[in-house]
Structure formats: C-alpha cells, structure tokens
Amino acid sequence: MELLQVRAVLFDMDGTLVTSDEAVERAWTTWAHEYGVDATAVLAIAHGSPAESTVDRMLPGIEEPARSKAANRQLELQYDDLSDVSAAPGAAEVLATIKQLGLPWAVVTSADRQLAKARLGAAGIDPPVLVTVEDISKGKPDPEGYLRAAELLETSPTSCLVVEDAEVGLQAGRAAGAITAALKGLSGDVNLTDLHQLAALLDQRAHE
C-alpha cells in the first residue's frame, strides 16, 4: 500500500543503483593500510556513509586540514577504479518503469560529484537530479540530502520513495519522512530482493 503514495523515487548510488561495492572496499582497504587502521573495522562502518564520517570514527581527534586530506585521499583512490563498476541488476528496468509512469527521480549519494559522475557514467545512468555530499552540510544518516532532492523535484518528502542498501541511508530516508525501500536484507517500509522486484511493484501499483 505504501507505494500508492509515491510521487518521486530517490535512489542511493553505490550498492543500490550502481554495483560498486568491490571498488568501494578496495579503496577503503588501501586507505586503512595507509593510515594504519584496521581495514575490517573500516569496512564495517564505511558503506553508505560520507568519507568524513568514517575518518572521524577511525581517526578520533583528527583536526583540519588533516581530516579533509584523509577524506579526499579515500575519494582519490576511487576516481579511476571503474573496471568492475556497472548498473545494478534491474536498474535499467526500474528506471524504464519510472519513466513510463512519469515519476521524477534523483540520485542521492555520499560520494562527491566527480566520483558520482564517474560511476554513474560507467553504469550508463544519467539522473535528472544528482545530490552529492558537496551539495549538503551533513551527510547520511542526516536527512538533508534526501530533503534537498525532494525540494529539487518539487515533491513532498513524505511522497518520496527512498531506495537504499545501507542502514545509514535508510535512517536518512526515515528522518526525511519518506517511504523506504530496503535492499540486501535490511528492513524498510518495502523490503526488496533486487531492483527487478521494485520495477514489478511500481508497475503493479500503476494498475491498481
């Protein structure tokens, strides 16, 4: 029933609309070795969060400009690592369904614009609205990114569907007042096995 209220769809990027988990993990593993912290601990908290948030947790007490340098280094490790980045299974189908239904959509990511453009380009995806970590003052789990996307799409946040594969992203969606769709076994208002299922559910909604 939640999908009957949807007037716009807001996608996370990494692990949701774009298959890039391996590239993300390679970058954070290299970063962890460079900064002398435990890679396993980094990977346990990094997914879906802005680089600065992970830096703050792994290097407590770090101050500027070292904080920004550490976060920027993590992003630099990812810019050219696109060899296995692709559209997630079902991404083309769900975007085609959204277009057919006339629903506006956006991508809201914890990546910066350079990395987001690179990954979305590698996946063949060109969102009409892209909100990156550079467009907001607070990243996920803060709702600012999703609220900004809803504003740009001229849609109430409560009528937006946030599609996420990370708990911090789902927290951001909930805090924005949006309907949430969760991948990878996480819990949302709608629980998804993949984007193929989301395409089918949205198509079904159109005929109810």
Model pLDDT for residues 115-159, shown as the tens digit of each residue: 999 999 999 999 999 999 999 999 999 999 999 999 999 999 999
- Within this chain, do residues 36 and 91 fall inside the same structural domain, yes or no? no
- Within this chain, do residues 92 and 31 fall inside the same structural domain, yes or no? no
The pLDDT of residue 4 is 87
Q: For the whole model, what pTM was predicted?
A: 0.91
Task: Give me the numbers of helices (H) and strands (E) for the chain, helices first please.
Answer: 9, 8
- Within this chain, do residues 59 and 137 fall inside the same structural domain, yes or no? no
The residue from 40, 60, 79 where one domain ends is 79
pLDDT band at 208 (very low <50, low <70, confident <90, very high): low
The residue from 79, 96, 127 where one domain ends is 79
- Within this chain, do residues 47 and 122 fall inside the same structural domain, yes or no? no
**Residues 85, 116 contacting (CB under 8 angstroms):** no
The pLDDT of residue 1 is 55
- Within this chain, do residues 9 and 102 fall inside the same structural domain, yes or no? yes
Model pLDDT for residues 92-122, shown as the tens digit of each residue: 999 999 999 999 999 999 999 999 999 999 9
- Within this chain, do residues 57 and 93 fall inside the same structural domain, yes or no? no
- Within this chain, do residues 47 and 94 fall inside the same structural domain, yes or no? no
> Domain residues for 38?
21-79
The residue from 79, 95, 111 where one domain ends is 79
- Give catalytic residue positions: 12, 14
Model pLDDT for residues 24-52, shown as the tens digit of each residue: 999 999 999 999 999 999 999 998 889 99
- When divided into structural domains, the chain yields a total of 2
Tell whether the model's pLDDT for residue 67 goes beyond 90.
Answer: yes
- Within this chain, do residues 48 and 72 fall inside the same structural domain, yes or no? yes
Measured from the Cβ of residue 89, the count of other Cβ atoms closer than 10 Å reads 12
Sort 8 into a burial class: Cβ within 10 Å, 0-12 / 13-18 / 19+. Answer: buried
Alpha-carbon distance values, 131 to 68, 75, 96, 149, 199 (Å): 20, 17, 21, 6, 23
Tokens of 195: 């984007």
- Within this chain, do residues 15 and 26 fall inside the same structural domain, yes or no? no
- Within this chain, do residues 189 and 148 fall inside the same structural domain, yes or no? yes
CATH number at residue 194: 3.40.50.1000
- Within this chain, do residues 124 and 40 fall inside the same structural domain, yes or no? no
Q: What is the 3-state secondary structure (H, E, C) of 166-177?
A: CHHHHHHHHHHC
Model pLDDT for residues 166-206, shown as the tens digit of each residue: 999 999 999 999 999 999 999 999 999 999 999 999 998 77
SS3 54: helix
- Within this chain, do residues 97 and 186 fall inside the same structural domain, yes or no? yes
